[in-house]
């Protein structure tokens, strides 16, 4: 490979994984901004999306059905999570939520390990065309699907939050929950909705990366699925949500940037540095920057 084709190759792989980080980051921020919950089970939504798709696909369902079913199940699990272990919390603090969601993540992971086994899984690519050659670099079709999903998700959410009454009300309740309840927002329904939305988007991210290993071009960091991919996916998403300032635009940019940096580090230096790098960025950021918990402290019923 020439240097140029190497650069292109790493950029492609970086943008592909960056797209996933961005979507997972959006899952973090929608839940956090509306409900104040740092949801460490976010990564398990990603894992569930991929694993359940494999389960249904393996059971003989068509790929499209498997995908729809997997998303539906993950949304249900996300909603149940909110109803069963988040909503009943009597004395809500960030720490309580963190511990609860970390524990829930372990439970979900354990159930999948027991029922689906510890092997990594994959399904066939969504579009079956030959990989495209760009100046010596290989662009696998699934990478286009992944980035396409990011574009659609981003544009869809931007439209939703800026041009629909429901989306604006969601934004309003992330700014001031008390005022939102006074204009007629049922804040607990909104929080449920956000968990569902995070479940759907997380699952989608997990689904589109599942076929990548199948092609034999296993170049992206989480290019397959298995019971244990959740934690790393969650952490990468958290990094980009924090660095992106919890906004959709910021998270997408941070996601792509992290993906690219990782891609080049993995390609030119060593794959081993990749994850350490992302987490170092987060630590660096947290040293100089605060996570704005303060405005979430106001409770609706004092």
Binding site for another protein (CB under 8 A): 165, 168-169, 171-172, 175-176, 178-187, 300-302
Q: Report the nearest approach of another protein to the CB of residue 180 (Å).
A: 8
Task: Kindly state the smallest distance separating residue 172's Cβ from another protein, in Å.
Answer: 5
Q: Facing residues of 132 across strands?
A: 139
Token pair of 34, please? 């509306």
177 vs 225 by CB, closer to another protein = 177
Return the number of the residue (189 or 287) whose C-beta is nearest another protein.
189
d(CA 210, CA 58): 13
- Rounded Cα distance between 292 and 302, Å, is 20
Q: What's the Cα-to-Cα distance from 63 to each of 19, 148, 282, 302, rounded to whole Å?
A: 22, 18, 36, 49
Q: Which two tokens stand for residue 175?
A: 């700014």
- With a CB cutoff of 8 Å and minimum separation 6, the contacts of 226 are 47, 51, 118, 119, 120, 121
User: Considering beta carbons, is residue 164 or 289 the nearer one to another protein?
Assistant: 164
Nearest residue (CB) to another protein, 130 versus 189: 189
Token readout for 267 is: 């390609």
Which of 33/212 has CB closer to another protein?
33
**Measured between alpha carbons, how far is 223 from 263 in angstroms, rounded to an integer?**
13
């Amino acid at each position: 490979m020439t240097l140029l084709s190497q650069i292109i190759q790493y950029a492609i792989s970086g943008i592909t994984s960056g797209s996933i980080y961005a979507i997972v980051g959006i899952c973090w921020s929608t839940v956090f901004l509306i409900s104040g919950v740092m949801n460490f089970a976010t990564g398990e939504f990603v894992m569930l999306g991929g694993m359940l798709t494999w389960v249904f696909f393996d059971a003989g369902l068509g790929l499209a059905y498997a995908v729809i079913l997997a998303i539906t199940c993950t949304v249900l699990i996300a909603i149940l999570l909110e109803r069963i272990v988040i909503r009943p919390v009597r004395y809500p603090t960030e720490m309580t939520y963190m511990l609860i969601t970390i524990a829930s993540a372990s439970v979900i992971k354990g159930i999948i390990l027991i029922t689906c086994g510890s092997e990594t899984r994959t399904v066939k690519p969504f579009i079956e065309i030959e990989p495209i050659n760009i100046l010596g670099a290989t662009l696998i079709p699934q990478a286009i699907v992944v980035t396409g999903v990011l574009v659609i998700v981003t544009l869809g959410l931007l439209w939703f939050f800026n041009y629909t009454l429901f989306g604006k009300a969601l934004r309003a309740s992330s700014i001031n929950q008390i005022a939102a309840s006074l204009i007629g927002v049922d804040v607990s329904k909104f929080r449920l909705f956000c968990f569902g939305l995070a479940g759907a988007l997380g699952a989608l991210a997990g689904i589109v990366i599942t076929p990548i290993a199948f092609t034999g071009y296993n170049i992206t960091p989480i290019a397959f699925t298995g019971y244990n991919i959740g934690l790393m996916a969650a952490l990468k998403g958290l990094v980009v949500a924090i660095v992106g300032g919890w906004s959709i635009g910021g998270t997408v940019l941070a996601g792509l940037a992290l993906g690219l940096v990782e891609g080049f580090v993995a390609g030119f230096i060593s794959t081993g540095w990749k994850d350490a790098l992302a987490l170092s960025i987060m630590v660096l950021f947290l040293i100089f920057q605060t996570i704005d918990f303060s405005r979430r402290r106001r409770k609706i019923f004092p």
